[in-house]
Each structure stands twice: as structure tokens, then as C-alpha cells.
Amino acid sequence: MSKSKKYDVVIIGAGPAGYVAAIRCAQLGLNTACVDNWVNSDGEFALGGTCLNVGCIPSKSLLESSELYSRAQGELADHGIQTKSVTLNLDAMMARKNQVVSDLTRGIEGLFKSNKVNWIKARGRLLANRRVECVSADETKVIEGEKIIIATGSSSIDIPAAPLTDGLIVDSTGALAFTEVPKRLGVIGAGVIGLELGSVWNRLGSDVVMLEAQETFLTMTDEQVSRDSLRIFKKQGLDIRLNARLMKTEIKKGQVHVQYQDADGDRTEVFDKLIVAVGRRPNIDNVFDEEASLLLDERGYIHVNDQCETSLPCVYAIGDVVRGPMLAHKGSEEGVMVAELIAGNFAEVKYDLIPSVIYTHPEIAWVGKTEQHLKTAGENYKVGTFPFAANGRARAMGASDGMVKVLSQGDSDRILGVHIIGPQASEMVAQAVIAMEMEASAEDIGLMTFAHPTLSESLHEAVLAVNGNAIHIARTRRR
């Protein structure tokens, strides 16, 4: 066997964690290789992993398109815009989604070229002594790295009661590629992915039933947001059934028969399609050789410390294969941190300030502590809320559902958490992250000037409400 090629850094995986790490390593002057063998639906190699190819980006494209379709059907008349008829061209909608994905993945390929990252189109596997086996259809070769970064991402969790079945029972990837709108659609799981996919097809005309095993809706969100969002989504037509445990599925005459249990006993439903969206698991199968002896934690993730160092010297792991939320931006920030550390610079990720977003309509976004967490911890805290119904811009947009909620420390007034359900919550939460990064108090933000009329004024009013000073609401909730 010929002598293996050596790199300063070898990265296994080219999703948001891996490709960002590769680019930053190269920018810092490190000779970098990134090993990834993702093949898109056209049979071409593509960078970006699950997020860009069959996750974040295509789902947001369909969410945007389906929202426009929904508005054109039922809301434009309120704005004085009359349309004789609105029809759906699903093929064109899917083609646009695919083009958005293609443009972005090719953009990453261009960044790899301009930064001189060597993209090895193969499946990577970590061997002992920081060697990486690269297996492709043409050859198997071994390369070496002074440092190794594992960023192999995650996959949808399969459940025995609902095995994936040729376009009838599908995971999130299959749900982004339907060729027609199902008349009746079932979704197993009413979490982030299930809600987003259910929202897309509900807007496009499906009768959507969501079966969620948990007794509480969106358990990771603030309880007030959970209650408000459940009410709003049900009003939109999503049939969300909590405490509903899937028992089995059967395919009969081209339809999916679902048996589940709830508080009233056994129930059955029949769907044209069924989406399984019960979560994701880390991709660790065949990622490292037994001789590499990587330590896993009790949940099956690669064990790392706060700097993403694994149990092996000079081997790092980032993104969905390690602890923490499975979020693209979390993985990207870990990629930047590890690149900086490898280059000898200081870097860290503040895990308690990673924002979360659900891209429904209205959007849900939050950062920091929830009120139930603060209550459980016995923390002295204050609360300020402000409804979008009292915001001029939201009313002008016809998007007045939801609110902004701010939690601050009872003595210092330092902001501990911000929770938003409403229009453009995904953009507004960034202001909260900045404020909390700077350890701002509610009073600090209250003293700032916000442009009028903007949605962001709702955040301003909510921080004013923390100390009883909100202007545009009659009473302020005080704890």
C-alpha cells in the first residue's frame, strides 16, 4: 500500500458542522481535507449534509411557499387584493425547493475551492493513530491527520411499529418529496420536525392528524408558549392529539392503517400517507474502528468535553454526534471553535445562549431559561410579556397572534430567558441573544430606542413590562 497522505486536519462529514469547520481551518492556514459522500437525488455528490439537502433548507423553502399559497387563498382579500382563483402547481413548488438546495450546496463547493479545502468524495472511518479510511466506489485509501474532527450528523429515528414503506410511510426526507398532496396525512410526533412538515401539507390542503405520545405539547418550550401555540395550531386545522401512543401500522389497499392508544383506549385511523417524525439519532455506525476506542456517553453520543475533545488525543467531535441540541447553528459554532482551538486561539461556545426556533406560522423562538425551569430551581425572577395584538406593525401585517415573554433575575434584573411566538420570531430572538451575551438587564434594553413601527417594539415593551413600565398595555403581569 502506498504511503498515506497527511493533512493538518481531516474532517469526517460535510454538514453544517463539518463544512464550517473545514472552511475555518483552511482560513487559519491549516492544510484541510473533508471526507463526505452525500449523493443527492440526481445522483451527484453534494456538500451540506442533511441540513442543506433534505432538512433545514428544503423544509424552509416549502414552508415559505406553502405559507404564500395559504395567504393567497384566504388572507389577501382582507388587504383589498381580489383573486379569481388560486391553484397549486406542486411540481413547480418542488422544483423551486430543489433549485434553492442546489444553489446553496454548489455555493459551499465554491467556498471549498476558494479556501483550498480538499473534498474527498468517500465514506470516512476513523482508524487508530489518527488515520482515516476513505471508501468510495473506485478505491479505498487511507489518509492521516494531525487533528481529526468527526462531524457525521444524525438520522431520523425509525420505530418498529411504523417501518418505512415506499412512499406510504416516510421519514422527514420522504415528506419533502411527495408528488401529490395527500388527502389525509398522519404524522407520528408533534415536535419541531413534525409540526413544520404537518404545517406545510396542512396549508397545501391535507387533512393532518398528529399523534404525540407526550401528554404535554412542546415540552421544551415555556409553558405559556406551549399553551398559546397549541391553541393557535389547532385553530389552523392541525388535529394534534396528545398522549397518543402508536401501537402498529398496516398497509391495506394502498393506505396506512394506524392503531394507537390514548386515555380512552384503542383507536384506529386511516391515512393516505404517514410521516414518522419522532426525533433523530447520532450517526455513529461504522464511523470509527474498534481499535480507535472512542468513548460514547450513556445516550450513544460521542463523549466530549466543553472544547469538543473526545477521549482520544487530537480527535474532536462536533454537531449532532455530541451532547447538546441537534441544531445546525450549534454544530457550526462548534466547528468554528474547534478550528480556532486547533490553530492555538481561544474560543468557546456558550451553550446556554443557543437559540431554538420552530418555523411554523407563527414562528416560535426562544433562548435561555423557561419559567418552569426557574420555578423548579427556586430562582427569584420577574416576568414581562407583551402581545403582538398590541403591536402596530403586527396588526398592519395581519399577524397579531402570539407574544414576547421576558424573564429576568429578581435582584439584578439580568435577562435570563426570552420566549417569542409570533411573526419573524426567528429574527427577533437574535436581539435577545445579543442582550444576554452582553449580560444586559431588562432595564438596559428598556432604555434603548427601537424603531417604530416594528415587530421588535414588542421585545422593547416586554422588557419594560418586567419592571411594570410597559406603555402599550393596560396591566403588566407581575410575579
Active site residues: 452
Q: Could you give the count of Cα atoms lying within 13 Å of 331 in the half-sphere of its Cβ?
A: 29
Q: What letter represents residue 95's amino acid?
A: A
Phi, psi of 209 (to 5 degrees): -120, 125
DSSP symbols for 182-198: -SEEEEE--SHHHHHHH
- Residue 320: in which H helix or E strand, if any? none
Q: What letter represents residue 178's amino acid?
A: F
Q: Any residues with CB less than 8 A from the CB of 353 and at least 6 apart, and which? A: 367, 368, 433, 436, 437
Q: Any residues with CB less than 8 A from the CB of 64 and at least 6 apart, and which? A: none
Phi, psi of 54 (to 5 degrees): -140, 25
Please check whether residue 211 is in contact with residue 188, taking contact to mean a CB–CB distance below 8 angstroms. yes
Q: For residue 299, which of 171, 157, 127 has the smallest C-alpha distance?
A: 157
Q: Which set of grid coordinates corresponds to residue 289?
A: 474502528
- Give the CA dihedral 432, 396, 228, 222, nearest 10 degrees: 0
CA distance 391 to 129: 60
Beta strands 184-188 and 273-276: pairing type? Answer: parallel
- Any idea which residue has 472552511 for its cell? 23
CA distance 327 to 16: 9
CA distance 149 to 317: 5
CA distance 433 to 350: 11
What are the start-end ranges of the H helices in 351-466?
371-377, 392-397, 425-437, 442-446, 457-466
CB atoms within 10 A of CB 212: 24
Q: Which set of grid coordinates corresponds to residue 265?
A: 383506549
